[in-house]
Chains A and B, each alone.
Chain A
Amino acid sequence: MRWRDPLLLLFLLFLLWEFLYLIVGDVALRSPAATARNLGAMLGDERFLPHVRETLLAFGQGFLIAVVVGLAIGVPLGAARFAGEVAEPILVALYSIPKVTLYPVILLIFGIGMPAKVAFGAIHGIVPISIFAMNAVRNINPTHLRTARVLRLSPMSLSLKILVPAALPEIVTGIRVGFSLALIGTLLGEMFGSQHGLGHLLMQAMSLHNIERILALTLLLVVFAAAVNALLLALDRSLHRRAA
Chain B
Amino acid sequence: MSASSIRILLVAGLVALLEILCRTGVIPNFTVIPPSAMAQSLWNILASGKFTPDIVATLTNVAIAIAAAMLAGVALGTALQGWPAARRVLDPLFATYYAVPMYAFYPLLIVIFGLGDLPQVAIGFLLAVMAVIINTLNGLDRVPPVLLKAARVHRLGPLAAALRVRLPCAAPYVFTGFKLAVAYSFIGVIGAEFITSSRGIGYEISFAYNNFDNGVMYAMILFILLLVITVNMSLHAWEKRLLARRRRA
Contact = CB atoms under 8 A, between A and B. Distances in A.
Interface of A: 5-6, 8-9, 12-13, 24, 27-29, 82, 85-87, 89-90, 92-93, 95-105, 107-109, 176-177, 179-180, 183-184, 187-188, 191-192, 202-203, 205-206, 209, 211, 214-215, 217-218, 221-222, 225-226, 228-230, 233
B30 interface: yes
Contacts of B208: 104
A215 B108 CA distance: 8
A174 B158 CA distance: 38
Judged by DSSP, the binding face of A is helix
3 shortest interchain CB distances as A-B pairs: A229-B99, A96-B183, A104-B209
Judged by DSSP, the binding face of B is helix
Nearest to B179: A96
Contacts, number: 144
Contacts of A217: 104
B99 A202 contact: no
Contacts of B89: 5, 8-9, 12
Contact of B101 (A85, A206, A221): A221
B43 interface: no
Interface residues of B, number: 51
A95 B187 CA distance: 10
A104 B191 contact: no
Given A93-B233, A96-B183, A214-B107, 9 more contacts: A86-B7, A90-B11, A96-B186, A202-B107, A214-B108, A218-B104, A218-B107, A226-B100, A229-B96
A58 B102 CA distance: 19
Contacts of A233: 95-96
Contacts of A230: 92, 96
A221 B31 CA distance: 33
A210 B38 CA distance: 40
B156 interface: no
B80 to A, nearest CB: 13
B105 A218 contact: yes
A8 B221 CA distance: 45
Residue among A98, A102, A180 with the most chain B CB within 10 A? A98
A105 B205 CA distance: 11
A98 B30 contact: no
Contact of B104 (A6, A192, A221): A221
Contacts of B221: 101-102, 104-105
B92 A5 contact: yes
A218 B112 CA distance: 15
Interface of B: 3, 6-7, 10-11, 30-32, 88-93, 95-96, 98-108, 110-112, 183, 186-187, 190-191, 194-196, 202, 205-206, 208-209, 217, 221, 224-225, 228-229, 232-233
Given A211-B111, A229-B95, A100 B10 contact: no
Nearest to B188: A98
Contacts of B3: 82, 85-86
A86 B6 contact: yes
B111 A98 contact: no
Contacts of A5: 88-89, 91-92
Given A93-B232, A96-B183, A97-B225, A27 B111 contact: yes
Contacts of A99: 187
Residue among B99, B209, B217 with the most chain A CB within 10 A? B99
Contact of B103 (A12, A93, A107, A188): A188
Contacts of A92: 232
A9 B88 CA distance: 10
Contacts of A104: 205-206, 208-209, 217, 221
Contact of B205 (A86, A101, A108, A188): A101
A89 B6 CA distance: 12
Residue among B6, B11, B190, B194 with the most chain A CB within 10 A? B194
A104 to B, nearest CB: 4
B6 A98 contact: no
A90 B4 CA distance: 10
Nearest to B194: A100
A102 B31 CA distance: 12
Nearest to B110: A206
Contact of B228 (A13, A97, A103, A226): A97
8 contacts: A28-B111, A93-B232, A100-B187, A184-B101, A214-B107, A225-B100, A230-B96, A233-B96
A183 B101 contact: yes
Nearest to B217: A104
